[in-house]
Every structure is written in structure tokens, then in C-alpha cells.
Amino acid sequence: MLSFILASGNAHKAEEFSELFKDKIVVKAAPRGLSPDETGETFTANALIKAKAYYDEFQLPSLADDSGLTVESLPQILGVQSARFLPERADYKEKCLEIIRLLQTHENKRAYFTCVLCFYISPSEIYFFEGRVHGEIGNEYRGDKGFGYDPIFIPQRAENDGKTLAELPEWKNLNSHRAKASLAALDFFISR
């Protein structure tokens, strides 16, 4: 069974990954959090920076993820900079409301979440997996089950009921960008 330390100090996130991997890949919290400079221009580059930093520090296979929201009409903001959008506003609700405001004059509200996972087993064995969920930005902030930009993101799904990710916790657990990347990784590692 493969085992990785998570390139994050968040123990709860390690548990979430273990659940996504159906206990076929074990993910443990790192002994302590590190703060590598995420200077990459892509999700893949930042995931690699984090995974390598944790591997180098703890000498254990590491798993890192980098994710964010891309809004087609606002390509200059968010994306790989999602977590750093409006740094003076710590509250994500304010950030969400600002995105809604910025999109008021745009017809195209299409957006997508991306997650890239980096499995850093050794310097010569590194794997990347990407997951995306497509949708659009809604006109209001709704839902209390998500975090970050979930309350303004309406995913594409068969029901087409206009619910945001923050109103769909069960759906998100199975269909999110992180879930898709995790499933791709699980399929790969099981079939190796």
C-alpha cells in the first residue's frame, strides 16, 4: 500500500484524501507545516514546489495539491492566483461578492475549478493528475456547506437546478475537481 505525507499542515485534509483514495492510498498529515514560496505560473508548478519541499524536508513520499478557480471573462485574476486574490480581504465572502460585481457587465460567466495533484515519490518518480469541474458564476452568494468560492460557483450537472457547490456537499464529494484528480490517481496507482 502506498503511503504519502500531505504537503500541508492540515490534518483534516489528509483524512479527506484518504477517504477519496478509499484507503488504497494512505495520506498522513506532515509532522509540521512548511511554507514554500508558490512562485509557479501554473497549478502543476505550484503542486511540484510544495511536494518537493515536503519530500526534501521529511525524506518521505509526499502528496501536494494546488487548485483554484478560473473565470473565462476575468483571465487576469484568479486561476493560479485564486488564494491570493484581494489579499487585503481575508473573508472569502467579500472576495466572492467582488467577483460577482466584476462580472455584472459580462455575458460570459463560464468558469471552472482545477485541481492538480503531485505525487512526489522520489526525485526520479513524480506523477501529476488533474481534475476539473466546469460551471458558471452565479449572481448571488448562496449556501453554507462549502468554502472559498463554492457559494458562487454553479457546477454543470444533469439536474440544472442552479445550486452552488456550497449547496451540494454530497455531489461535490463525488464530482469535484479534487475528487476527479484523486480518482485518476487511484486508477493509475492500482493498475501499476
Name the residue range of residue 152's domain.
2-191
Nearest to 64 by CA among 121, 1, 136: 121
Give yes or no for a contact between 44 and 118, defined as CB atoms under 8 angstroms apart: yes
In this prediction, residue 10 carries a pLDDT of: 75
Query: Is 66 an annotated catalytic residue?
Result: yes
Which CATH number characterizes residue 13's domain?
Answer: 3.90.950.10
Q: What's phi and psi for 149, nearest 5 deg?
A: -95, 5
In this prediction, residue 1 carries a pLDDT of: 77
In this prediction, residue 136 carries a pLDDT of: 97
Catalytic residue among 66, 91, 161, 187: 66
Number of domains making up the chain = 1
Residue-wise pLDDT for 84-110, tens only, equals 888 888 789 999 999 999 999 999 999
In this prediction, residue 43 carries a pLDDT of: 96
Contacts of 56 (CB under 8 A, 6+ apart): none
Spans of the chain below 70 pLDDT: none
